[in-house]
Amino acid sequence: EVQLVESGGGLVQPGGSLILSCAASGFIFSDYWIHWVRHSPGKGLEWVSRINLDGTDRRCADSVKGRLTISRDNAENTVYLQMNSLRVEDTAVYYCTRAVGGGDVPGRFDPWGQGTLVTVSS
């Protein structure tokens, strides 16, 4: 079964740091790009960041640029999201998801993990 499991969320003060993990199983991890998407009740789903197969191409949303960094360890089948200088507006459930397709085949996200909650509050 293809599965993604996030961990590492919690309560952190503004300006603090956190590292999220996304552990993958059931597929050849190094064959897929992985993305982080977050959900906050007032904002819906918001794309956060993505990483390519070997970690050499990493992109993130303007809203988190310079503060959140994605990385991956293909030996451990895990993607990480290093979160620094956290703001109240970063409060959300963070999901990791696998990108399927691409190129001539339209890309989509499937499956998604169950999410991990990050709360930024004093």
Partner 1 sequence: DIQMTQSPSSLSASVGDTVTISCRASQYVSRNLNWYQHKPGKAPKLLIYAASTLKSGAPSRFRGSGSGTDFTLTISNLQPEDFATYYCQQSYSTPPDTFGQGTRLEIK
Question: What does the binding site for partner 1 look like in residue numbers (CB under 8 A)?
Answer: 35, 37, 39, 44-47, 50, 59-62, 95, 97, 101-102, 105-115
The residue among 78 and 97 lying less far from partner 1, judged by its C-beta, is 97
Reading the block at residue 24, the tokens are: 């993958």
Strands 116-120 and 10-12: parallel
Strand partners, 37: 47, 95
Rounded distance between C-alpha atoms, residue 29 and residue 77, angstroms? 6
Question: Smallest distance, Å, CB 46 to partner 1?
Answer: 7
Enumerate the H helices of 6-108 as residue ranges: none
The residue among 58 and 87 lying less far from partner 1, judged by its C-beta, is 58
The residue among 60 and 83 lying less far from partner 1, judged by its C-beta, is 60
